[in-house]
Amino acid sequence: MHKSLSKFVYNKPGVVLSDPLQAAAHIAVHHCLAVKPGEQVIIVSNPETEVAAIAEALYDASLDAGGLPLLLFQSVKTQLDFAEPGVIAAFSAQPEVFISLSAEKLGKDKKGITTPYTYQGVNYDHIFHLQLYGQKTCRSFWSPATTLASFIRTVPIDYELLKRRCTWVKAALDEAVSIHITAPGGTDIRCSLRGRQAKSDDGDFSQGGRGGNLPAGEAFISPENGTAQGIIVFDGSISLHDQDILIREPIRCTVEEGFITAIQGGTEAAALQETLSLAETNAQEYEKVGTLPPGAGTVYARNARNLGEIGIGLNPAARINGHMLEDEKAFHTCHFAIGLNYDNDAPCLIHLDGLVKDPTIRVYRENKPERVIEQDGNLQEPIG
């Protein structure tokens, strides 16, 4: 084992790179990313105790794999902040592997938002997305707002079982033309899935163009724009622009023609409303100063209330603890995201995930019986 970088430069009082952390980092680098000798590995983090410790362990594990790691620290970024120019410049090295270990978010690419990168007719507003999803020259995982306890507990899991579950749920969503989700808390919403393909976060980031979270463990899809109709009652946790919070008084959102039109509840609902208003205002301001092109400010502001994602948690080690990275992977939950979707046709400055507990999820197929994915929060996976 190489000597830990933390012993020489970024030592944090009270943090010891314990064996469980080293073991989790080893799984992330050797199994999930399959780092090979000579590959460039860029790790971006913040000088915050817990994420820095994980980043340093990943640095060591990358060295052990024969990789060529580079660890960069920047100040903490929220969903509405820009990444430091040096972080964006690091992508000019065309790294084979990119890891983001952030206390909040990686940060936006100011140049990419102002003048999107185009590859094969598709626009990307971040150079990372260009290299990952467009050119497919890199592979990656990102762990926003993770903690030591979460990383150690949720990364060492049975990835073969996870992959089977993700594959089954993804196939059910891909085949569906519509979906209906209800829950004891009051959620009752329907939307079309026509023309959409689901994605799965199964922890396999071994090939160029593949990326996701660690902890892994969800299958998700973007609803057809303008079709969601009903009520979502968030009763687990929710992301805001600068933090994740546990929900003590449920947030009731009315959804009409794909957009949230009303928000009811207590202090948590008020905080969500504040974040949406901030995203709307910032979008208009970005257009005024030229960060967004003419006309884009109105589009980005409108999509701040768009229903951009439906996801299903599939990591058996995940718990609801107020850290969305882990919360949205928890069994017996689904989540909805407000804002940006995954089909590049609803651009926005935010993507806010919110949890619904114990859902019943039904999908409807052309000329076939309906399929139940979850019943009262229990996955209805096939036996065998």
What is the full DSSP assignment across 185-212?
TS-EEEEE-TT---EEE-S---STT-EE
pLDDT tens for 202-260 read 999 999 999 999 999 999 999 999 999 999 999 999 999 999 999 999 999 999 999 99
Q: What is the 3-state secondary structure (H, E, C) of 288-335?
A: HCCCCCCCHHHHHHHHHHEEEEEEEECECCCCCCCCHHHHCCECCEEE
pLDDT the model gives residue 16: 42
For all residues of the chain together, what is the average pLDDT? Answer: 94
- Asked if pLDDT for residue 11 goes beyond 70, the answer is no
pLDDT the model gives residue 381: 84
In the chain, the amino acid numbered 1 is: M
pLDDT tens for 176-210 read 999 999 999 999 999 999 999 999 999 999 999 99
pLDDT tens for 264-311 read 999 999 999 999 999 999 999 999 999 999 999 999 999 999 999 999
Residue 224: CB partners within 8 Å, gap ≥ 6? 191, 192, 193, 194, 195, 196
- Asked if pLDDT for residue 170 goes beyond 90, the answer is yes
Domains of the chain and any CATH numbers: 5-149 (3.40.50), 158-379 (no CATH)
- Asked if pLDDT for residue 333 goes beyond 50, the answer is yes
Average pLDDT over residues 81-88: 97
Tell me the two tokens of residue 374.
């979850």
- Asked if pLDDT for residue 13 goes beyond 60, the answer is no
Average pLDDT over residues 29-56: 97
Average pLDDT over residues 5-12: 35
Bridge partners of residue 99, in order along the sequence: 43, 141
pTM of the complete model:
0.89
**Residue 168: φ, ψ to 5°:** -65, -45
Instruction: Give first-to-last CA distance, the chain, whole Å.
Output: 40
pLDDT the model gives residue 191: 98
Question: Is the Cβ–Cβ distance between 48 and 103 less than 8 Å?
Answer: yes
Question: Is the Cβ–Cβ distance between 356 and 334 less than 8 Å?
Answer: yes
pLDDT tens for 104-146 read 999 999 999 999 999 999 999 999 999 999 999 999 999 999 9
- Asked if pLDDT for residue 15 goes beyond 50, the answer is no
pLDDT the model gives residue 383: 55
